[in-house]
Amino acid sequence: MGLTTSEFVYLYSWYSWPNVILCFVGGFLIDRVFGIRLGTVIYATLVVIGQIVFALGGVFNAFWLMVVGRFIFGIGGESLAVAQNNYAVLWFKGKELNMVFGLQLSFARVGSTVNFNVMGYLYNWVNQDYKGYMCIGIVLLIASATCFMSLICALLLAYMDKRAERILKRKVAQDGEVVRLSDVKDFPPIFWLISVVCVAYYVAVFPFIALGKVFFERKFEFSPDNANTVNSIVYIISAVASPLLGLLVDKVGKNVFWVCLSVLVSIGCHALLAFTFINPYVAMCILGVAYSMLASALWPMVALVIPEYQLGTAYGIAQSVQNLGLAVITLAAGKIVDSGGYLMLEVFFLGWLCVAMVTSVVIWILDTSGSGVLNMTPRQREVLERNHLAAEALERDKLLASGSMADVTPQDLLQPHSDFHIRNRYLSRIGAPLPSNYSVNAKGLAYRALR
């Protein structure tokens, strides 16, 4: 299509920059407006529409249309990742969650690997009959079939989740819990520190891989093919190792320990690449394992510190912060290479990994001084959850027994209620005014109303 490098970069920037805000909005809409099922279908539909518009831009040789397509695709793609995380927590919170997050990462890396290896052959095949921009457009239209497959999966998953909700009566347990944008200010400090670790660690992985090919060619005098191979080792290993390491975290627990270990090992890998001439395959293989371990242990931690009805918003914020960090740091990394070379770039990445290490240690300290849930074993978390449910049941019994029971029917006693419902019933019995925001979440505003 005769694009300049600056124009080509627009296809990336118009995908990434909007998601600094849109991931957060998309997660909030899942929690408050659409719900997880409808939200997933809408975002998957946007991915299909964005890819088709992108392809049509190639067919008609309209670069502006391709940029619009990438913008639409970005709105759907990143928000779809938030919905995916929500589904994972909803279905697998407990013993399997870390492995499921590892499997998600594994499938993502398999998809990237297949894309890199198939698209070139597909282009050459189509190029036999179509040339230039028309060939680009047709290839991208064929590639949109995978986006249709994603939409079909979203529809099937919505059906399965609706059926599970009916059988398990999940909706009853969620009554009275309504997420609001103002809830963000009440997120615990550990959540924000997890977001900092996410940014500080990933900026030392993704931008490095984006610029790594030339680094291996210059420092280790690799051929372009060998440099590309060693540069892709991290993704290849993560595709295999992520679910296995996730299963390990499920069995052992202690997520914060694994996060700290992963960051520490990654610091050692970057130090080997920066200051030694040891075969880079060694450092890149170890980095692939450390990256897989961190992803499997870090993301499930959000579900341990944020209530389920706010998870869409929480994961949206984490994705938004990550997009902002990657967008800014990638630009900074390019300027560092131009001005100081790859040694300075590695020192830059080591600095960010040190930030991740310090933040991880702070999370460990805060968690230890609090509930300690992030570094518990699975059995310890089960005991904590049982004790929590027993305490809630005791509180309900006390509240129901405090005052007149004349208005309580046997059906009321058999019907499950939220803490918020019980507390407001108690307030009405003792003659206290009910809070104006009667329908909002029990754990937050009801507590403040009583206080």
More confident site: 349 or 451: 349
Q: For 39-73, how does the pLDDT look when each residue is reduced to its tens digit (9 = 90+)? A: 899 999 999 999 999 999 988 988 899 999 998 99
d(CA 42, CA 51) in angstroms, rounded, equals 14
Mean pLDDT of the region 220-236: 84
pLDDT at residue 448 greater than cutoff 50: no
Q: For residue 205, what are its two tokens?
A: 């992985």
d(CA 255, CA 450) in angstroms, rounded, equals 35
Q: For 181-223, how does the pLDDT look when each residue is reduced to its tens digit (9 = 90+)? A: 566 777 889 999 999 999 999 988 888 887 788 889 888 988 8
pLDDT band at 437 (very low <50, low <70, confident <90, very high): very low
Q: What is the amino acid identity at position 78?
A: E
Mean pLDDT of the region 32-45: 86
Give yes or no for a contact between 201 and 266, defined as CB atoms under 8 angstroms apart: yes
Give, for 25, the enclosing helix (H) or strand (E): helix 19-29
The model's pTM is 0.68
